[in-house]
Chains A and B, each alone.
Chain A
Amino acid sequence: MSDTSSSRPFFSVNDLHVHFAARSRLFRETPPPVKAVNGLSLSIEPGRTFGLVGESGSGKSTVARAILQLVDIKAGTITLDGEDVTNVPSGKELAFRSRVQAVLQDPFSSLNQVHQTRTIVGDAITRHFGVKAGADRDNRVSALLDEVGMSPEFLDHYPYEMSGGQRQRISIARALAVEPDLIIADEATSALDVSIQSQVINVLKRVQAETGVAYLFIAHDLEVVKHMSDDVGVMYLGYLVEKGDAERIYDGPAHPYTEMLIASIPMPNPVVQAERRALRQTFGTQPGGGIAEPPSPSNLPKGCPFENRCPVAMDICREEMPEPTPGHHGGEVRCHLHTSGPELGGESVVHFIESQKLSSPAGSGSAV
């Protein structure tokens, strides 16, 4: 998606870098910074959802926090509707907050325990529309509760009096209160029970259909992301290794790591899962049966960060970080396979990996 289209995207993040400086210690060498996000770009149009997946620590939340002005950005720009919102000055913060909202992961800690629903949601209304606490504001809160499928009796409930699913819907109502253009949902359904998760997912989708809000939907559950998203981005150690049309990425991942993630999703069907297990085990172990750990984000290798876990790594992978190249799904992929070795040219890697595994049954991972 390297700006070939002439029209400007509605919301975009361009080449975002976020580093966390390690704390300096007296008389000791300052450790290198944690490189949490390394050159990430994405864009979202109104009414659409960009899903962000990746392992724990891959930098998903840091992207969200950077957009929300909660961490310092090292490099890169963020634009909303043509306006630069990389570092919003305090005078414009309120205006920015009224356009970009968030639903955070933990329904137990993202609501202040000492406030009732009417205050939690109402405070946002007061702040952005100047409506003082009272019957009017309560009516608006009730209307928002209705939108997320809750009755007005929850107005005077405290967070501890509500279930996880209810609290998460209160968080959604609070985000909707300011009528935002973009909602960042960071693991918004992860802490919920299976039977409640589907309720919240439906609420999010319904709200989108009604208001045209755009979502950046972050989750580690690939199936939930697939169901929610139009486009998907896959992060590994702060790099966006692949992005593109959701459906097509799931059908034909162009990056070995994406393929590994998809192969690892356990399906609720023992017959299907028995086959998938074999596929997954292709990735499980390294040559020799050992288990490779991802490198530390404060000490990234100069080549591809996935190299030590990749079943089809090549010599060049240790030397050079692959640059983004176009993928068959209309997006991009960062993997040498597309330009070197088999030169897959952005196509799915599934068949290539399978053929490599078949040709080297001992499990040796070297492709070239």
Chain B
Amino acid sequence: MTGATVASGPEPIEAPLESAAESPRRRFWRRMFRNPLAVFSMLWFVTLVVSWLAPDVLATHDPFKQDVTLQRLFETPSADHWLGTDQFGRDLYSRVIYGAGFAFRSIFIAMSIAVGVGVPIGLFSGWKGGRVDRAIMWVNDVLFSLPIVLLAMAVIIVLTPSLTNAMIGVGIAMSTRFIRLTRAVTLAEKEELYVDAARITGISTPRILTRYIVPNLLPALVIQAAIISGAIILIGATLSFLGIGANLDDPDWGVMLNRAQSVFRQEGVWQIVPAGMALVLTVLSFNLLGDAIRDALGRDAGNNALTVTKRVEVAPAQTEHAADAVLSIRDMDVEFPGQGGKISEILNGVSLDVRAGETLGVVGESGSGKSMTMLSALGLTPAPGRMTRGSVQFDGRDVTNLSEAEWAKIRGKDIGIIFQEPIAVLNPAIKVGSQIAEPLRIHMGMSKADARKRAAELLAEVRVPDPERRLDQYPHEFSGGMAQRVGIAMALACEPKLLIADEPSTALDVTVQGQILDLISEVQERHQMAVILITHDLGVIAEAADRVLVMYGGQVMETASAHDVFLSPKHPYSRALLETMPQSHDGQGELPVIAGMVPSATAWPTGCRFAPRCGFATDACTSSMPPLERVADPAQGDLVQADLIRCVRHSELGLVGGTA
């Protein structure tokens, strides 16, 4: 899912920040080339590879050719010797280039062993689990804690000192990293449904490991390998520097540093620079590469869920606000920049009103804009989206262009919010009592003792048994239903004028759902709050809402009293939704369906957004966007009560509900 979620609370907002159709591979490379550090490290990597495979393309001299005249030793850079010469008059630049070959040979040997040993053991351990896994991991942890150089030395002592043998030791030492990583990924992937699905299909275990687990392991492996490669080069150089790696004549960076170090008092610091720089840049670029790959693979790279877009001038709404509404939204548009400058319009012309003591049910399928409407109204449009038109009024005050600081005084105090996953909103490390008390102390300026007393009262109000004891418990000690009661208590803490409940019962069992809905209506009655209840469940709306707003494709399709929406829906979409529910269908035959699927926000159909799925669509529907029209007689009711509908054919169709 590409959407951003705010505070991991409400339903994922289906904002196609990056079109869902873009393949992960393309997205990966696009992100890589957009990151300057990634570009630098990739360029450096390419240079290294060329130096390794075809050093003569870059080298200017023979790296072993000594200056027999002994005239040109320890030179600093010149037109002939770009990086100067060493103690035998050999060209330092060419030696550095050739050194890349040694670096890669080290990486190759150590990495083949590390991956070749580590990945199979990790896969085995993670897949087996249980005792076998614990035994393997115990041994691995012991080896892991030993210094790598020590292990390399041990191998050299047993075998003979050479760079190859040293790298075998390094490879074995590094395999512990790969065992850890592979095992962790395998353990996690093993629990994934698609692995179950593969087993159910009858796919054999080795095949599941190689075809299902390994591809999902690959990204993590590549990142780890890049970072470890840097370490391997450094260790190789260290061993060579200590004289137990490459031969003393080899153009190896470690050897070169060793030599430079021994003469550096007499001949100055320059001798250290070429090999030193090569080493530092290479290690650095491997690390940068690892980080860059991680970022580019990340699902939400460059999209911090909590950053709120900087406010820009919002075009004013066309119509007036209802005077007596607690929250009133008019003509709200919200846009997200998409790919290649395309704009996706997540919300279009959304208007709503909710009054004290009234429950407005907002219903719509996923991606219809329910949650985004609420977030944007509260100044929480997730970046990089922004509100481009409309106006919002809360408690008689224009809050369209409020600053974040001003919003912070309202949200959590005058507006309480209940989320779908109550547990996710609670901090697992902090006692529930302190979490309820926090808003009381911030917004109401209560003392610690008072806040605690009030927190206990609130828990009692939401009917949590034994509130005093519960205050000192941690969130994981609460069941889903109890945690949601805590969520409601927190939302009620400062006696808000408006309560927004975003799918408050969706994650709960049907028996608990009823209790939560009862609780919300109970506290609403007591405090005369306005409530906005967002849900995709028409049954929940029918139970709790006074008025209903039906959303589709980022637009309001119909607003009317709950009675009218359910018993005589005027909009073809409202009607179709009701008909597809199994509840509305007693026969055994096929259920009525809404053909097709919800369109994507980057490609709304022209004209009515429901037209491609609407059984009543005509040419008039697709030629231009139907306006949101007022249906009720304005003389009869006030603005709030006016029913709205967005369908060119509504009066002509005169749709009547099933239970007329």
Contact = CB atoms under 8 A, between A and B. Distances in A.
Contact of A281 (B518, B567, B576, B577): B518
Contact of A198 (B201, B464, B515, B592): B592
Contacts of B594: 195, 198
B567 A269 contact: yes
B146 to A, nearest CB: 24
A284 B515 CA distance: 6
Nearest to B598: A193
Interface string B56-75: 00000000000000000000
Given A193-B536, A270-B562, A227 B582 contact: yes
B366 A193 contact: yes
A138 B563 CA distance: 51
Task: Name, among A124, A195, A196, A223, the residue most crowded by chain B CB atoms within 10 Å (CB to CB).
Answer: A195
Nearest to B541: A268
A317 interface: no
Contacts of B1: 108
A273 B582 contact: no
Contacts of B567: 269-271
Contact of B591 (A98, A171, A202): A202
Contacts of B463: 285, 289-291
A68 interface: yes
B660 to A, nearest CB: 12
Interface in B174-226: 192-194, 196-203, 212, 215-216
Nearest to A53: B510
B221 to A, nearest CB: 14
Interface in B100-135: none
Contacts of B396: none
Interface in B589-603: 590-595, 597-598
A223 B366 CA distance: 20
Nearest to A283: B511
Interface in B457-513: 463-465, 479-482, 509-511, 513
A93 B193 contact: no
Contacts of A93: 202
A226 interface: yes
Contacts of B193: 104-106, 109-110
Interface string A264-293: 111111111100110011011100011101
A268 B465 contact: no
B584 interface: yes
B563 A270 contact: yes
Nearest to B365: A193
B279 interface: no
A212 to B, nearest CB: 16
B597 A123 contact: no
Contacts of A110: 193-194, 196-197
A70 interface: yes
Given A224-B582, A284-B514, A112 B198 contact: yes
Contacts of A283: 511
> Which of B21, B464, B538, B542 is the most central at the interface, judged by chain A CB atoms within 10 Å of its CB?
B542
Contacts of A226: 582
A98 B201 CA distance: 8
Pick the most buried of B212, B463, B585, B591: most chain A CB atoms within 10 A of its CB.
Answer: B591
Nearest to A286: B465
Contacts of A55: 509-511
A366 interface: no
Contacts of B541: 268
Contacts of B581: 194, 198, 223, 268
A227 B480 contact: no
B202 A198 contact: no
A334 B68 CA distance: 101
Contact of A201 (B196, B582, B613): B582
A280 B582 contact: no
A222 B510 contact: yes
B576 A124 contact: no
Contacts of A158: 23
A163 B591 contact: no
A74 interface: no
Interface residues of A, number: 76
B549 to A, nearest CB: 15
B197 A111 contact: yes
Nearest to A257: B511
B354 to A, nearest CB: 17
Interface string A173-191: 0100010000000000000
B584 A261 contact: no
B623 interface: no
B659 A223 contact: no
A67 to B, nearest CB: 10
Nearest to A260: B511
Nearest to B191: A109
Given A109-B192, A199-B593, A261-B511, A174 B585 contact: no
A222 to B, nearest CB: 7
Given A112-B212, A195-B576, A264-B511, A160 B199 contact: no
B539 interface: yes
A70 B199 CA distance: 8
Contacts of A255: none
B597 A196 contact: yes
Interface string A97-108: 110111011101
B574 to A, nearest CB: 11
B277 interface: no
Contacts of A248: none
B297 interface: no
B24 to A, nearest CB: 7
Contact of B20 (A70, A123, A161): A161
Contact of A264 (B366, B510, B593): B510
A124 B201 contact: yes
B512 to A, nearest CB: 8
Nearest to A70: B196
A284 B518 contact: yes
B597 A266 contact: no
A6 B509 CA distance: 39
Contacts of A289: 463
A305 interface: no
Interface in A301-315: none
B566 interface: yes
B542 A270 contact: yes
Contacts of A166: 597
A333 B215 CA distance: 48
Contacts of A109: 192-194
B567 to A, nearest CB: 7
B583 interface: yes
Contact of A227 (B510, B591, B659): B591
Interface in A84-131: 93-94, 97-98, 100-102, 104-106, 108-114, 123-124, 127-128
A153 B588 CA distance: 32
B201 A123 contact: yes
Given A268-B539, A268-B583, A220 B199 contact: no
Closest A-B pairs by Cβ, 3 of them: A266-B539, A97-B202, A195-B594
14 contacts: A102-B197, A105-B193, A127-B201, A158-B23, A166-B597, A193-B365, A195-B598, A198-B594, A201-B591, A222-B510, A264-B510, A265-B510, A270-B545, A289-B463
Given A70-B196, A293-B482, 10 more contacts: A55-B509, A65-B196, A100-B200, A124-B202, A127-B201, A174-B197, A223-B581, A269-B542, A276-B543, A285-B515
Interface of B: 1, 20-21, 23-24, 192-194, 196-203, 212, 215-216, 365-366, 463-465, 479-482, 509-511, 513-515, 517-518, 536-543, 545, 562-563, 566-567, 576-578, 580-585, 588, 590-595, 597-598, 613, 659
Interface of A: 55-56, 65, 68-70, 93-94, 97-98, 100-102, 104-106, 108-114, 123-124, 127-128, 158, 160-161, 163, 165-166, 171, 174, 178, 193-199, 201-202, 205-206, 220, 222-224, 226-227, 260-261, 264-273, 276-277, 280-281, 283-285, 289-291, 293
